[in-house]
Amino acid sequence: MRNISEKQRIVIKLGTSTLAHKTGKLNIRRMTNLVRVISDLHNSGREIIMVSSGAVGLGAGKLGLPEKPKDTKTKQAVAAIGQCELMHVYDDMFAKYSVTVAQILLTKAIINNPSHCENFRTTVESLVGMDVIPIVNENDTIAIDELELEIGENDSLSALVAELSGADLLLILSDIDALYDGDPRENPDAKPIPLVEKITPEIEAMAGGAGTSLGTGGMSTKINAAKIATNAGIDMIIMNGRDPEKLYDLFEDKEIGTLFKSQY
């Protein structure tokens, strides 16, 4: 038994590939369904905190760029455009279900500063206490490290947010169904792994490379997020965000995606 139905405070990480078409523009149908299901989970009494990718990808899409820009200066400008677009859409969509959202932008400098971390915790607790869904993102307009190094920071960021906010579960929605014992894009016989009790070198070796042309993360960044979360006593699940209705199955303890069990 997974006992996901018992989880109360959940951090949900949404990847660019879940939120946008390959063009970079918003996947309106999917986002509409995601917001509806997340609002329903929120209304059931669960405390939801979102970590959303997509600022750079959506900014590139709004400008009609064929792909994400390569240079940091342009990426930062595009992120500023995309961040505005992203929060406008979230605010509008959640408002239809009478759910209020708030934006929190983080950088590594904030996360690495104990007093700033405490301020973050206090803000999250206040927002959750007011029945608000905080939406957290890396501040791509000034976070040069992430933009230059392309390390898929929002996967790791979501794990750090889960740890700092005292979450029971980290849920990463991506364009993959689960962790596989091989690359399903190259090996049709690759099988999904429903449960990972411990992250071993063998598990790490199963991680693939980079993600899509619009996203920055691959399975390796998700394994890193799983390390952070499980070492902090938080279960983590990777699942496909293509069909938001699957979230209902997940919270009815059906076997969806890959569950990484906490280490204590």
162 burial via Cβ count (<10 Å: 0-12, 13-18, 19+): buried
The size of the chain, in residues, is: 264
Structural domain count, the chain: 1
Residue 4 covered by a domain: no
Per residue in 4-58, pLDDT tens?
Answer: 999 999 999 998 888 888 877 789 999 999 999 999 999 999 999 999 988 888 8
> Per the structure block, which two tokens stand in for 169?
């579960």
Band (208; pLDDT cuts 50, 70, 90): low
Query: Where in the sequence is the domain holding 118, given as residue range(s)?
Result: 9-260
Phi, psi of 260, deg, nearest 5: -100, 115
Residue 204: its H or E element: helix 201-205
Over residues 97-143, the pLDDT tens digits come to 999 999 998 876 677 777 778 999 999 999 999 999 999 987 756 55
Binding residues for substrate: 53, 140, 154
3-state secondary structure (DSSP) of residue 113: coil
The answer, yes or no, to whether residue 149 has pLDDT greater than 60, is no
Pair of tokens at residue 110: 């904030």
Residue 248 and residue 1 in contact, taking contact as beta carbons nearer than 8 Å: no
pLDDT at 144 over 70: no
Write down the pLDDT at residue 152: 46
- Find out whether 68 and 213 touch, Cβ atoms under 8 Å: yes
Does a structural domain hold residue 2? no
47 occurs within a structural domain: yes
Has residue 79 been placed in a domain?
yes
Over residues 236-250, mean pLDDT: 96
Alpha-carbon distance of 174 to 177, in angstroms, equals 8
Report the CATH number at residue 166: 3.40.1160.10
Residue 3 lies in a domain: no
CA distance 131 to 134: 10
Known binding residues are 13, 53, 140, 154, 174-175, 216-222
Domain membership flag for residue 1: no
Angstrom distances, CA of residue 104 to CA of 53, 137, 159, 162, 217: 13, 7, 15, 14, 21
Q: Which helix (H) or strand (E) element contains residue 170?
A: strand 169-174
Write the pLDDT tens digit of every residue in 150-206: 334 689 889 999 999 999 999 999 988 999 988 777 888 889 999 999 999 888 888
Cβ partners under 8 Å of residue 24, min gap 6 = 57, 58, 60, 61, 62, 65, 67, 68, 214
Q: Which residues are annotated as a binding site for ATP?
A: 13, 174-175, 216-222
- Residue 214 has what pLDDT? 37
Q: How far apart are CA 78 and CA 165, in angstroms?
A: 29
Burial class (CB in 10 A: 0-12, 13-18, 19+), 144: middle
Residue 146 has pLDDT above 80, yes or no: no
